[in-house]
Structure 1
Amino acid sequence: MMAATSLAEYLIYIPADEGRKVYIDPSLIPTFTECVDPTTDAGRKIANDIHHKLSSDATGTQSGQAVGDAAEFYMDIGNIGERCVRVFYRIVQAESAQASKGPGVYVHNIHRVLSNGRKVDVGLFHMKANGLTWTDEKVSTRELTTKVLRLGSMADNGGLIELSQLSTQMLKASSQATDKTDFNLYHCPLSVSSEGNDYATPEARHRIVNPAELADVLINTASLGEWSGRHYDAYTVYCYADASKLLEGALAIVKRKNVSLEKFSFSIIAPYSPFSFINRLANDCGATSTLESGFISSASQLHQNFDPASLSSTAISTCKAYSDQLEVRSDISFLELWKGMGSAAKLPELG
């Protein structure tokens, strides 16, 4: 969750004369690369379909509309099991086009959508070691039952993996493979995330998670007093991969509510967003955070390369190249910017 970009600073996605104009937040360059990847045939098709479908049918029956916000939508584009993305966007009409580029579709986020053929539930669980496996028990209240919380999800060719296997993989990524201590698991695949809103979906879907629910878990746990008999003196939260995006949203809510998380420390493993964003939010809430160095994925490194607060030479050169391109051409399209960032940001070359 990068700092909100003004709609007036969005870029045209693909220049076109027909249909609604489609604009996109230029800061989505790393997210677009992570989720769409136009270097593949499937990714190239999705890149084109984003324009075709949003310009022609952004408010149609295939879109989900936010409850209580008639201008906010999402659409799933692609094929589940191959490559599919959930595109979040806002419709700006002529009468409300001030402080924007004009009427059109404004894409403000993209999530990768994966299948859930195993029907793995989402939300908060209490995990217990059972030999070489883990058993799960759903937590009905929005508060932690242990002093350790792990956030994330994983998928294989069959879709989202079972919670026992997920637990094992999380512990390995944290260099804790032999640990058998109980912990809470917040299973939060972004493929079923609501981007912070409730949506009237075009079809029945599995229950969704959102930043407000995770914020409730953190706030309620922080509010537990000694009298409750359920509190701990300190809590450690391990956040894996794309769960960092959900954590950012949750911490922003905690910050707005002025709740202290001084008992919390956040251990961030291969985040799919710049670490400095999470670190700043955690510090603002009175918590500490650490970017773990033991494991880093290519997708996570891509996001770190776009971190304006990073002191690494790669990140500095990437952010400079990004700013330079936007300054040189005020009419540059998003896909032109993406192609131009290839060598500077170590993006895949467009095939």
Structure 2
Amino acid sequence: MTFPKISRNDFIYYSKDTKGEAGRAVYIYPSLIPHLYSLISPASHEWNSVLAFIRGFTSASVDAGSYDNIENPGRHFKLIAGFEVYYIVMQSHPDQDVSPGIYVTDIRKTLLGDGKSSGLYKVKKRGGMLSSMPYGKSEVLDKGLFVNGLEADIASAADAALDRLRKYGQAVDDWDNISFPMFYIPAEHCNELGRWVTPDTKHESAAEAAQKLAKVLSDTQGARKRENAVPLSWSVEGEGAEVLRMAIDIVKKDSGTKTLDKHTFKLFNPVVPRAGLSSMLKSIKELCADVETIAVVSKNTSSAANISLDLSGICGALNSLRNNEKSISHLSDMFSDLSADFQKAKKLLPGSDPDARPTFVEIMNTIASKPKW
């Protein structure tokens, strides 16, 4: 059997009353602070439920109702208020630098998707009814293309695309008789880019979705070059930005595609957790693609925390692209206070003695400013 490998030095106590003096000790990754803000509104019932659930590990059963990892017997997750709380149960072990207790390693939103494959679809609205069908090719000669974020199913993604089209798209004569292309990303790919499942139940991965999206980028580039068409206008929502980042990285490594100058991007509530949004914007510039005048619009908690951690880098990257004063001003006005609070919280973490560090709850309490979203 393979046992989890973790280090006590990577964790902090959850709170003052979870240090093991009464019940089990509960530890947590400090990096989950901004992650938690990105998932759940601090004023919500779900926020209080998840925090109370973690606090309850001091005495609650850790096995009853848990989902277990077949390869690592100490790894589990439990469902609470629509979220999955991942944790490791550690006993004393001579080969590990850990203390006995519960180690919380991740928190994710529970989403199962609808079984649809990722890829290009044609969305049609006829008489008030929305439908979607495979697009049939990988090159797009329409005026725009929508990439969804975290949506329960393809119907919800199509609704979100239509809303964006109304607010930011081209003029349409008849909104009850319209069709447009959409690159659909199933919910399970947006949920931390893959579900925690056993090998026999895991199907298509986010990496495969990114490969498909990279082909759309490359094939559309070639088609629009041949047709001397104007750049394709992309509207990318939420976690779809992370899959787009992965696709752009694939294109950068493809020797056959030197440029993406037939593409321009708008990003709505972008969440790019792995490399960061600033890195993605720099890649867009390297490939000679562009961002539109309103490049980044962010008005929800998921992107707020993600952007706040990378605010200076994002504004710097936008400044190197054209006509982005509105985006820079918008992001600075919205998230400068939250960004400063996250940076302040991060400075509390270093220290040679893990037991002397502030607790998770204490660090959260230093984030005093109220988000403006």
TM-score for the superposition, normalised by structure 2: 0.63
CA distance in 1, matches of 2:271, 2:220: 34
CA distance in 2, matches of 1:187, 1:252: 18
Cα gap change, 1:293 to 1:249, in 2 (>3 Å): closer
Q: 2:160 aligns to what?
A: 166
CA distance in 2, matches of 1:56, 1:144: 51
Cα gap change, 1:216 to 1:92, in 2 (>3 Å): farther
Deviations 1:103-128 (A, max 9, x none): 963525x4333587xx5745224214
Q: 2:14 aligns to what?
A: 13
Q: 2:193 aligns to what?
A: 195
CA distance in 1, matches of 2:199, 2:216: 31
Q: 1:3 aligns to what?
A: none
Contact 2:238 / 2:271 at 8 angstroms: preserved in 1? Answer: yes
Deviations 1:121-171 (A, max 9, x none): 45224214343544311368xx73424542225669xx8854543332232
Contact 1:65 / 1:201 at 8 angstroms: preserved in 2? Answer: no
CA distance in 2, matches of 1:289, 1:54: 49
Among 303, 307, 311, the alignment partner of 2:310 is 307
CA distance in 2, matches of 1:216, 1:10: 35
Q: 1:77 aligns to what?
A: 79
1:340 aligns with 2:340: no
Cα gap change, 1:333 to 1:111, in 2 (>3 Å): same
CA distance in 1, matches of 2:73, 2:167: 40
Among 272, 276, 279, the alignment partner of 2:278 is 276
Cα gap change, 1:41 to 1:167, in 2 (>3 Å): closer
* 1:280, distance to aligned residue in structure 2 (A): 3.3
Q: 1:237 aligns to what?
A: 234
1:49 aligns with 2:47: no
Q: 1:31 aligns to what?
A: 35
Contact 2:148 / 2:157 at 8 angstroms: preserved in 1? Answer: no
Listed as ranges, the gaps of 5+ residues in structure 2 are 1-6, 226-230, 316-331, 351-356
SS at match of 1:346: coil
CA distance in 1, matches of 2:104, 2:265: 33
Q: 2:339 aligns to what?
A: 319
When the two chains are superposed, the root-mean-square deviation of aligned CA atoms in Å is 4.8
SS at match of 1:39: coil
1:215 aligns with 2:210: yes
**What is the correspondence of 1:84-99 to structure 2 with a 5 Å cutoff?**
84-87=82-85
Cα gap change, 1:280 to 1:58, in 2 (>3 Å): farther
Structure index of larger Rg = 2
Contact 2:13 / 2:26 at 8 angstroms: preserved in 1? Answer: yes
CA distance in 2, matches of 1:73, 1:261: 44
CA distance in 2, matches of 1:90, 1:287: 44
SS at match of 2:138: coil
Aligned AA (1:144) = S
**What is the correspondence of 1:126-205 to structure 2 with a 5 Å cutoff?**
126-131=121-126, 132-138=128-134, 144-147=138-141, 148-153=144-149, 161-176=155-170, 178=172, 180=178, 182-189=180-187, 193=191, 195-196=193-194, 199-200=197-198
Q: 1:267 aligns to what?
A: 266
SS at match of 2:43: coil
CA distance in 2, matches of 1:31, 1:145: 36
Deviations 1:173-198 (A, max 9, x none): 43447384531331332587363577
Contact 1:75 / 1:87 at 8 angstroms: preserved in 2? Answer: yes
* 1:341, distance to aligned residue in structure 2 (A): 0.5
Cα gap change, 1:326 to 1:199, in 2 (>3 Å): same
Tell me which moved more, 184-193 or 49-58: 49-58
Among 19, 27, 35, the alignment partner of 1:22 is 27
* 1:50, distance to aligned residue in structure 2 (A): 3.7
Aligned AA (1:262) = T
CA distance in 1, matches of 2:110, 2:101: 28
Cα gap change, 1:249 to 1:88, in 2 (>3 Å): farther
Listed as ranges, the gaps of 5+ residues in structure 1 are 1-5
CA distance in 2, matches of 1:89, 1:35: 17
CA distance in 2, matches of 1:105, 1:175: 47
Contact 1:114 / 1:160 at 8 angstroms: preserved in 2? Answer: no
